[in-house]
Amino acid sequence: MKQCKLLFIAALVLSSFSLAAQHSTDATKIKEVEAAESRMFKNMNFTHYKEYYKTDVADDFFTINADGVTADKAQSFADTARMKMVELGNLKLVDKKIRVYDNVGITNGRGQVYVDNMLVVEFLYTAVFVKRNGKWMYTSWQGTMSKDSPKIGAPQQ
């Protein structure tokens, strides 16, 4: 009976160490995905995107944009007009969430773009990153215009 109690206590201690190690690993992965997302937003403009596409965008990348345009990596890379448009505003991210499942990181939230301190568009987004060969690669994007986005042509308040 005494041995059973000792085995039970040992199992509890070992499982708590295992849970603590798992939590630490999850927190590390979340920070890595957050850094990957920050790099993505920082480099999604005409000035920086060429190098970023070479080093951080997965070959099987696919995007569905808020305006209904879909593209693979090559098509997205060639869309320089979209990249130039991104530079026109200042992006603010809100309601951001990050989830990690082994080697897949999913981020989502709301993006608000301001020009001259005026909100010009708000979108909801989901970005997917996959860890390959030790690096989080930007794999997928989906954006949807927010119901709270200013209407084009509507008077601003």
User: Could you read off the pLDDT of 123-151 as tens digits, one per residue?
Assistant: 999 999 999 999 999 999 999 998 888 87
> 34: domain CATH number?
3.10.450.50
**pLDDT, mean of each 10-residue run, the chain (157 residues):** 57 47 71 96 85 95 92 93 80 94 96 92 96 97 90 59
Q: How many domains does the chain fold into?
A: 1
Whether 107 contacts 141, CB under 8 Å? no
Residue 155 lies in a domain: no
Distance CA 128, CA 33 (A): 9
Whether 91 contacts 112, CB under 8 Å? yes
Q: In the prediction, which pLDDT does 17 show?
A: 43
Residue 157 lies in a domain: no
pTM: 0.79
Q: In 3-state terms, what secondary structure has residue 11? A: helix
Distance CA 24, CA 9 (A): 23
Residue 127 lies in a domain: yes
- Residue 97 is part of which domain span? 2-145
Residue 153 lies in a domain: no
Q: What is the DSSP letter of 146?
A: -
Q: In the prediction, which pLDDT does 46 show?
A: 76
Residue 152 lies in a domain: no
